[in-house]
Amino acid sequence: MLPDFAATVGALAATVAERERCATGSVQGARDFVLASFAAMPVYLRPPLRAATLFFDLWAVPRRGRLFHRLPPRQRRAQMEAWETGPARMLIRFYVSLVLVSLWHD
């Protein structure tokens, strides 16, 4: 049971998309946009962001017995929204912002 960066990004995109019901963009498009943005961001930001994302994926294991990206949608949303208001809110805000841009652009 290893955390998976791309799968976590995809799961976050799907969770945001589920909340933004009126947006017409695709989850796959949002995932690809976030991963492309990640690949282009400053070099020194990538390792800490990747580590924080993997930690976010692992966070669910002791609580739910599964990685975040393998949780059912309702539990994924609960974890994401808990983090949105917690100490690591900047991490989730970063992902939510990028996903919103993609979902609404399409």
Partner 1 sequence: MTEPVKDRIRADVAVIGSGPGGSVTATLCAEAGYSTLLIEEGPDLPLDAMAHFSGEEILHKYRNAGVTMAFGHPSVTYVEGRCVGGGSEVNRGLYHRTPPHVLEQWVASHRVDALTPDELAPHFEACEATARIAAFPGTPPPLSQRLGDGAVRLGWDAVAAHRLYDYEAGRKQSMSATFVPRFRRAGGRLIADMRAQRIRRINGRWEVAVLHRSGPMVTIVADTLFVACGAVQTPALLRRSGFRHNIGNSLRFHPMLKAVALFDAPVNRPGDPDPVHQIKMFEPRFGIGCSISSPAMLALALAANPAMRARIGADADRMGLYYVQNGTGHGRVRALPGSRDPLVSVRHHDIELDQLYDGLKHLVRALFAAGAQAVQPCLPGFGLLYSAAELASLPARLSRKAAMLTSVHVFASCPMGEDRRLGATDSWGRIHDAHGLRIADASLMCGPTIANPQGSVMAIAHRNALHAIERRFA
Q: Is 93 in the site for partner 1 (CB under 8 A)?
A: yes
Applying CB under 8 A, among 36, 48, 65, 86 the residue interacting with partner 1 is 36
The number of C-alpha atoms within 13 Å of 3 and in the hemisphere containing its C-beta is: 16
Q: Is 96 in the site for partner 1 (CB under 8 A)?
A: yes
Of 9, 18, 69, nearest to 37 by C-alpha is 9
Q: What's the rounded Cα separation, in Å, for the pair 3 and 59? A: 10
Strands of the chain, DSSP E: none
Q: Does 20 bind partner 1 (CB under 8 A)?
A: yes
Q: How far is the CB of 90 from partner 1 (least distance, A)?
A: 9
- Give the alpha-carbon dihedral of 19, 21, 26, 28, to 10 degrees: 20
Structure tokens at 4: 């998976």
33 binds partner 1 (CB under 8 A): yes
- Verify binding: residue 63, partner 1, rule CB under 8 A: no
Q: Which is nearer to partner 1, 25 or 70 (CB)?
A: 25
Q: Which residues bind partner 1 (CB under 8 A)?
A: 19-23, 33, 36-37, 39-45, 89, 93, 96-97, 100-106
